[in-house]
Amino acid sequence: MAFRSRPAEVLKVAAASPSIAQALRQEPTLDVAELDPSAGEQRLRTGKVALLVEPGAAGAVVYRYDDTNPEGRTARMLADRAVQRAAGRADPVPATDGIIREAGSRYVDFLVPGLVGLGIMSNTLWGLGFSIVDSRRRKLTKRLIATPMSRTYYLLSYLVWRLIVLVVEVGVPIGFGALAFGVPVRGRVFDLVIICILASLSFSALALLISSRARTIEAVSGLMNLAQVPMWILSGVFFSAQRFPDAVQPVISALPLTALIDALRAHMLQGAGLPQLGPQLGVLTGWLLVCFVLALKLFRWR
Amino acid sequence: MALPETRPALRVTHLRKTYKDVVAVDGIELNVPAGQCFGLLGPNGAGKTTTIEICEGLTKPDSGDVEVLGLRWASDAQALRQRLGIQLQETQLSDKLTVFETLQLFRSFFDRGPAPDEVIALVQLEEKRDARVVALSGGQKQRLALACALVGDPDLLFLDEPTTGLDPQARRQLWELIEEFKKAGRTILLTTHYMDEAERLCDDLAIMDHGKVIARGTPGVLVASIGADHLVELSTTGASDVDLAALRRVAGVRDARAENGSIRIQATELHRSVPALLEELRRQGIPLTELSTHSATLEDVFVSLTGRHLRDE
C-alpha cells in the first residue's frame, strides 16, 4: 500500500571526482553516482540528483544544489558530514538514535481529513445546488410557493437531506482511512459528529446562497466553481496552508473549508475536543447564519 | 366558508403589468361572481397567463387592484393561499414521487381538505395511485396537477390552459372533471386558447388580445354579436383576383375576407347567400375548388374582432 511505513528514503547525489564519491559512499542514506561535471550538471538541472559535489581549488569542495528544496538541503548536510568525517573530523559527543514511528504524522494522516472536508463541501454544494436549480427551472418551486407551504421549511428541508447523507459522506472515507491506512481518530466520536453536522449545515447554507438566483445548470455550475476553487487551493486540503504568505493567513482561516479541515485534523490526529476548536466552529457557524439569512432574502422562487 | 351573495369571488380593476418594453397586461377589468366558471380566451401572448398569475399572487402588478375572495395579496397572502386551488401552465412535479405521495405532500400544506385517496378517485387515477409521476402519460399528469389544485378544498380554482398539449380523449376527460366541480358550486377562473373549451365550460367570457379585453359576455352572446350565424369558406384558384367588395354586397353577407388563398365569408342565411355567392364568383370568372360552411364559433368572433386566429396554426 502506498503509505505504509518504509525505511528512510535514500537521496540521489552526484560526485565529480572519485575521492569525493568514495567519501560520500560512507553515508548509507546517499545513493552516489560518479559523473563528469557536465553530466552531473545535467542531472542536477533535471532533478535527477538533489546535489552535485565538485572539487574546488586547493582541496575544497563545492556543493551545487537548490536551497529551496528540502531534499537538496538535506543532501548537502549529509554530504558535508560524510566529506568532513572522511577527512578526519571527529564528533566529540557520542550520539545514538531512538526512532519513533507514529501514526498521525504521515502524509496520509494529513490527507484523509483534508479529503473528508473536501468531500463534504463538494457533495453538499453540487448536490444541493443542482437540486435547487433544477427544481426552479422545472417550475416545481413556483408551484410550491403558490401553496401555503412555509418557504423557510422548504429551504430547511434541504439542510435535513444533507444531514442524512452525511452519515455515508463522512463514515466511508474515515472508515476506509482507518482500516486501510491506520489513520487514527483520536478525539471523541460525539465531537466528530458535532463538527460534521455543523459543517454540513454551513455548506448547505452556502449552497443555498449560491443557487439562490441561478436559473440554469450552466449558471450555477459557474458560480459553484468560483466559490470552490479558491478553497481547493487555499484551505490546506493537499498541502499545508501555512505555505502561503502571512498576510493571507487571516483570509484563509476565515474560509469554511479551512475551518472544517483544521478542526478535523486537530480532532482526528491530536484528539482535540470541542472547546479547543472554538475558532473553527465559530467560523462555520458564522457562515451558516449569514448564508441562510441572505439566501432566504435573495431566493428567486419563480 | 360561504361568501355573501353580493361580493364577487374575484375583482380586478385597472390591472397593468409591463415586462421590459412589452405591455403584457394593459388595463384589465374583471368581475367574477361566486359559483361561476369564468374564461379568459385569447391567443398565446395575449396576457392571460400574466393576468391569472397576478390573481394567484405569483406576480406583482405594476398598478391596479386585485381582490380575491374579498382579500388582498399584500395583506392576506397566507389566508388566501389556504383557500385557492391553482393549476399552472406546464407544471412539472417531482418525477420520483408516486401519485399518492405527491398528493400527500400537497395536502400537508393545507389546514383542511379531502384525503389524498378521495381526490385520486375524483380524478380517476386509482390504478396509478402508486405509480411514479415520471411513468404517467400527459393526460394523467394533467389530472394529477388538477388533483393537487383540489386537495386543499379550495373556494376558488385557477386553471391556466388545463388541456393544452393533450389528445382529444384526455381533453374530454378533463372537461368532464371540471364540469363536476362546477356542479359542486366552486368558482373557477380558466384561461385557454381553445374556443371549444371556452364554449363548453365557461358561463362567462372575456376575450383577450395584446393585454386588453376586447370582448366580454356569455359564449352565446359573443357569437351572436358578430351578427352572422354562419361562416362560408371558399377556395379558388385565383383567390387574389377576387373582388371582395362585390362579394360583400351579396344578399345576407356581413363580411368577406381573403386569407391564405381562401376566402372567409360571414353570412346570416345560408340558403340565400350561398347560391348568390356562387353566382357572383361565376360572374367574376373565378373557378371554385372547395366550399365549406360551419356555424359561427368564438374563433370566428375573434377573427372578426382582430383579423387573426386564436391558434397560430
* Residue B144, domain CATH: 3.40.50.300
C-alpha cell belonging to residue B147: 388533483
Decide if A291 contacts A205 (C-beta within 8 A).
Answer: yes
**Res B1: pLDDT:** 52
Residues B155 and B274 in one domain: no
Decide if A137 contacts A217 (C-beta within 8 A).
Answer: yes
DSSP bridge partners of B295: B230
Better pLDDT: B286 or A142: A142
DSSP string, A264-293: HHHHHHH---GGGGHHHHHHHHHHHHHHHH
Q: What is the mean pLDDT of residues A211-223?
A: 94
Query: For the structural domain made of A11-86, what CATH number should be given?
Result: 3.40.190.10
Residue A1 has pLDDT above 60, yes or no: no
Better pLDDT: A106 or B122: B122
Query: 3-class SS at B309?
Result: coil
Instruction: Name the pLDDT band for B313 (thresholds 50, 70, 90).
Output: very low
Residues B157 and B244 in one domain: no
C-alpha cell belonging to residue B123: 380524478
pTM tops 0.80, yes or no: no
ipTM of the prediction: 0.84
Q: Which helix (H) or strand (E) holds B213?
A: strand B212-217
B4 within domain boundaries = no
The answer to whether A148 contacts B92, with C-beta atoms less than 8 Å apart, is: no
How many Å apart are CA B246 and CA B241, to the nearest integer? 12
Decide if B8 contacts B32 (C-beta within 8 A).
Answer: yes
Reference B234, options B178, B292, B183; nearest CA is: B292
Residues B47 and B172 in one domain: yes
The answer to whether B91 contacts A145, with C-beta atoms less than 8 Å apart, is: no
Whether A45 and chain B come into contact, CB under 8 Å, resolves to no
How many Å apart are CA B173 and CA B157, to the nearest integer? 18
Residues of B in contact with A149 (CB under 8 A): 109
Residues B37 and B170 in one domain: yes
Residues B132 and B172 in one domain: yes
How many Å apart are CA A205 and CA A65, to the nearest integer? 50
> Residue A266: what are its φ and ψ, rounded to 5°?
-65, -40
C-alpha cell belonging to residue B241: 383576383
**Res B3: pLDDT:** 52
Instruction: Report the residue from B58, B90, B93 with minimal CB separation from A146.
Output: B58
| Angle, helix A189-210 to helix A107-137, in steps of 10 degrees | 40
User: How many domains does one find in chain B?
Assistant: 2
Of B160, B193, B219, which marks where a domain is finished?
B219
B2 within domain boundaries = no
Residues of A in contact with B81 (CB under 8 A): 146-148
How many Å apart are CA A95 and CA A113, to the nearest integer? 37
Domain carrying residue B112: 10-219
Residue B268 has pLDDT above 90, yes or no: no
Q: How far is B279 from chain A (nearest CA, A)?
A: 57
